[in-house]
């Protein structure tokens, strides 16, 4: 389960970075 949580956290961070990148570049 710990590994699944780490993967989920990584996805959330990636999504957050994508959103931040989009906001900065628009």
Distances in Å between the Cα of 8 and the Cα atoms of 16, 18, 21 are 12, 15, 20
For residues 20 and 13, what is the distance between their CA atoms, to the nearest angstrom? 10
pLDDT of residue 21: 86
Q: Domain range spanning residue 16?
A: 1-26
pLDDT of residue 9: 92
pLDDT of residue 6: 92
**Overall pTM > 0.75:** no
Q: How many domains does the chain have?
A: 1
Reported as a single tens digit per residue, the pLDDT across 1-26 is 789 889 999 999 999 898 888 888 87
Distances in Å between the Cα of 3 and the Cα atoms of 8, 9, 13, 22, 25 are 9, 10, 15, 29, 33
């Amino acid at each position: 389960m710990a590994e699944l949580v780490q993967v989920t956290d990584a996805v959330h961070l990636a999504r957050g970075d994508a959103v931040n990148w989009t906001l900065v570049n628009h």
